[in-house]
Amino acid sequence: MARIIDKEEKRCDIALSAINLFCEKGIQQTSIDEIAKSAGVAKGTIYLYFKNKEEIVFAIWDVIAGRHREAFAKRVRADMSAKEKILEFYNFTECEEEQNKEQVLMLYQHFVSSMLIDKTGLYTAYFESFFQEDYDFIMNALNEGIARKEFCVDNIELLTTTIILLLKGVLIRAKANNMGFHEAQTSLINHITYLLDIGTRKVS
């Protein structure tokens, strides 16, 4: 009896098989033919699961983001302060176990590069939806901290937006300065900690 193929699993397998290619050649320089060869399938099979190469890129990030959310859910505790939860949210140490951590950083950098030259708007739309989840999480955490009288924030929206801009900037800076995963992670946490410290104040 032929094995029943789980379409979502197959879709995920095809997408993840493209990671090495994207890291080695860049997203724009990688062809669907090369992805098919890497996945061990016919080119036509790729189009059964994806409309275009962009969908493959987004599927990879969906997997990485999903694994991060699962890891965060296991690490976070109810007794953590809002500040601790935000810092833990940007702890990507699970990448050391589930993905090649340097590849994750490199993939993000290639993603940003593709977005900057993208004329379709697909990368920009996905990129913004990706960070909308971060925005919502930070806003909720800050509001929680205020409700629990952990701190005061004069402008929650501005602080949240600044943290998101910081995240984008630190990861681009990591590319410019040829940082490795651990250096980029440490830089990110240090900068977010600083922003939280100056953007919040003790309840009087």
pLDDT at 29: 92
**Residue 64 resides in a domain:** yes
**Residue 87 resides in a domain:** yes
In whole angstroms, give the CA distance from residue 13 to residue 70.
19
Q: Which of helix, strand or coil describes residue 60?
A: helix
Indicate the residue type of 100.
N
User: Which of 116, 102, 118 is CA-nearest to residue 52?
Assistant: 118
Contact yes or no for 171/109 (Cβ under 8 A)? yes
In whole angstroms, give the CA distance from residue 104 to residue 110.
10
Token pair for residue 82?
Answer: 């809002």
Domain count, the chain: 1
Compute mean pLDDT per 10 residues along the chain, 204 residues long, and list them. 67 93 91 94 94 93 90 92 94 71 84 83 87 93 95 94 88 81 90 93 80
**Residue 14 resides in a domain:** no
CA of 61: how far to CAs of 37, 49, 65, 111, 195, in Å?
21, 16, 6, 10, 26
* C-beta atoms surrounding 43 within 10 Å: 13
**Residue 92 resides in a domain:** yes
Per-residue burial over 103-118, b if 16 or more Cβ lie within 10 Å, else e, is bbbbbbbbbebbbeeb
pLDDT at 118: 84
Token pair for residue 74?
Answer: 């296991």
User: Which of 100, 128, 117, 101 is CA-nearest to residue 27?
Assistant: 117
**Residue 28 resides in a domain:** no
Contact yes or no for 39/46 (Cβ under 8 A)? yes
**Residue 74 resides in a domain:** yes
In whole angstroms, give the CA distance from residue 96 to residue 181.
9
- State the CATH number of the domain containing residue 63: 1.10.357
pLDDT at 5: 59
